[in-house]
Structure 1
Amino acid sequence: MQYRKLHDADLDAANAFLADHAATSMILRGNLRTAGIERRRHPLSGSWFGAVANDGAIQAIIAQFGNGNVFVQAADNQTVPTQLTEAFLADPLRPVAGVFGEADQAADMLGQLGLAGSEFAINASDILYGLDLANLVVPVNARADDFQMVDAEKVERSTLLSWLRAYEIEALGAEDTPVLDSKVASRLVQSLDARNLWALIVEGKAVSLSGFNAQLPDMVQVGPVWTPPEYRSNGYARILVAKTLLAARARGVTRAILSTDSEAAAKAYEALGFEKIGRYRLALLKSPMQLGKMSAA
């Protein structure tokens, strides 16, 4: 077994490995499909490390992307190979902003990186949901003319920025600082370019937002989903998510996943047919931390 940095020659093996663990690898799969392994100047490029068997098959992956977030995939194991963590730490890396992955694996990664006792904006083991889109339960009024889904680009930019900012603070524990403005603006530009963000219009007003934060020909990951407090309890988010999934199904997507730690949101998703399939950890540090070679356990 080799524990090393991955290269373009490993692309097929990485895709095959991640496809076998699709529900907990959507960001990894999406970024790999879009940016590959060694397209360093692409906004979604990253540094990829793998546990590579003698036959070239990959059995675990650690990847860090430009925003500092680290994603892990260790198949059906609860831990990440320490030799892989050592290889990751031995290579020049960005300050770590957060760790994401299957809940136990991400917690193990935090421990190996010496981050378990750090201050987090959020460190949540969300419930992971999956849905075969053939079983999507469409709200009765979702197709009514009163509810229109539009590309987010048709909504005022100031509204989108305000909503995404509020989402980051409420859902992801972000601090209300000028730095957040820059982060939200960058995220909005990427979403509009990718055309993966939509709004629900009711009586001429935008009332809810939903998107896909990862999408592949066969599968999408739902998020962010945001409804301003003044428009909540009307079922708007459920209607909009259903509409986005209907559109995805029409172009051949067969499965959707999402994660949440909100009881209210969970009820809305379950009403659409989503079922619990595991747990996914989102661990975002309050401030990025630069790690050294001696951080591994």
Structure 2
Amino acid sequence: MSGGWRRLRADDLPGVEAFLAEHIQSSIFTLVNLRDHGLDGTDARAVALWGCDGADGPAGVLAVTREGMLLPQIPVRNAALARALGGALAGRPLVGAIGDADQVRCLLLALGLDRAPTRIDADDPAFRLDLDALALPPGPEVALEPAGTGNSEVLARFRSAYHREVLGTPAADADAAARADVARFLTGDSYRLLHRGGRALGMTGINATWGDTVQVGGVYVRPEERGRGIARRAVGLHLAEVRAAGARRAILFASGDAAARAYRALGFEPAGTIAMVLFDGPQRVPE
């Protein structure tokens, strides 16, 4: 126990999952990592969990992946509560934080990491869509193709560019990171390439699925093809596909005004703000 926080165990998970599912817009990564990689596991995305108990169940949950990503769900903004986590996290290498923007900013400030050097530090608008309301405006005559071994090289090139442009990954590391990602995409059948006349124009993906909710991400279009509605068309076609397979809701966060306009055109509505902070090298909570 540390200042109202305690390390969570396997028997806490039913209540934790129910709590996180109530805040799925900013908790889907925690839920999926927990399901796919386990509690206190050895995979880089396995999570350790700390919780703060309320009167009727969890009042806050902090997940930290084995690689060091902070994933907070602490709806009550309370710096003292967040500071109490410092002892539990002392000495643990941390690579960044993703979550509700207010919560991420409060947590990093409380941990003394708000001025840590970063390669990405962005607050992006979040959106959600009931897929029954999906609007597919007229657009370019294009087709989606499932990612597979036959087109993995193209997907890897797009993903490498995405790493450099969106995630701030150093050029020397982007290709290796992209290939590792693509191996995961192929296993999960989660990404699609967009084609026109036999030429790959871009990609779109489903980063996470929880129940009937999907999280859209990894959208990339060749620079020379941007501004023509291609990203909007790719996402719309992919969402129509997952809707036919049973998905009922889509969530995402948009990196930039052009992306936000594309998502609004598909029917997405504002749903808060997500912060993505990636440190420039591992950081540790100050003693």
TM-score, normalising length: structure 1: 0.88
Alignment of 1:250-261 (within 5 A): 250-261=244-255
User: The residue matched to 2:123 in structure 1 has which SS?
Assistant: strand
Q: Is 1:275 matched with 2:276? A: no
* 2:209 matched residue in structure 1: 215
Q: Is 1:173 matched with 2:168? A: yes
* CA displacement at 1:87 relative to structure 2: 5.2
Amino acid at match of 1:41: T
User: The residue matched to 2:277 in structure 1 has which SS?
Assistant: strand
1:104-123 superposed Cα distances (whole Å, 9 cap, x missing partner):
11011111222111211111
* 1:150 matched residue in structure 2: 145
1:168-197 superposed Cα distances (whole Å, 9 cap, x missing partner):
1111222222x3333222222112111111
CA separation of 1:265 and 1:235: change in aligned 2, threshold 3 A: same
* CA displacement at 1:79 relative to structure 2: 5.1
Alignment of 1:54-73 (within 5 A): 57-73=57-73
Partners in 2 of 1:176 and 1:103 — Cα distance?
Answer: 28
Q: Is 1:41 matched with 2:36? A: no
Alignment of 1:99-248 (within 5 A): 99-141=97-139, 146-153=141-148, 156-177=151-172, 179-248=173-242
Stretches of structure 2 that go unaligned for 5 or more consecutive residues are none
CA separation of 1:163 and 1:275: change in aligned 2, threshold 3 A: same
CA separation of 1:100 and 1:79: change in aligned 2, threshold 3 A: farther
User: The residue matched to 1:117 in structure 2 has which SS?
Assistant: coil
Amino acid at match of 1:19: A
CA separation of 1:78 and 1:171: change in aligned 2, threshold 3 A: farther
Q: Is 1:249 matched with 2:243? A: yes
User: The residue matched to 1:130 in structure 2 has which SS?
Assistant: strand
CA separation of 1:229 and 1:141: change in aligned 2, threshold 3 A: closer
Q: Is the 8 A contact 1:2 1:53 kept in 2?
A: no
Q: Is the 8 A contact 2:157 2:175 kept in 1?
A: no
User: The residue matched to 2:258 in structure 1 has which SS?
Assistant: helix
User: The residue matched to 1:128 in structure 2 has which SS?
Assistant: strand
Q: Is 1:98 matched with 2:99? A: no
* CA displacement at 1:263 relative to structure 2: 0.9
Q: Is the 8 A contact 2:193 2:203 kept in 1?
A: yes
Identity level (%): 31
1:214-251 superposed Cα distances (whole Å, 9 cap, x missing partner):
11121111101000112222222111101111111112
Q: Is the 8 A contact 2:135 2:266 kept in 1?
A: yes
Partners in 2 of 1:173 and 1:235 — Cα distance?
Answer: 25
Partners in 1 of 2:131 and 2:203 — Cα distance?
Answer: 20
Q: Is the 8 A contact 2:113 2:285 kept in 1?
A: no
Stretches of structure 1 that go unaligned for 5 or more consecutive residues are none
Q: Is the 8 A contact 2:46 2:66 kept in 1?
A: yes
Query: Which deviates further from its counterpart, 150-159 or 97-106?
Result: 150-159
Amino acid at match of 2:166: A
Q: Is the 8 A contact 2:62 2:71 kept in 1?
A: yes
Partners in 1 of 2:83 and 2:150 — Cα distance?
Answer: 48
* 2:85 matched residue in structure 1: 85
* CA displacement at 1:44 relative to structure 2: 3.1
* 2:30 matched residue in structure 1: 28
* CA displacement at 1:83 relative to structure 2: 5.8
Partners in 2 of 1:108 and 1:65 — Cα distance?
Answer: 19
User: The residue matched to 1:60 in structure 2 has which SS?
Assistant: strand
The CA RMSD measured in Å over matched residues stands at 2.1
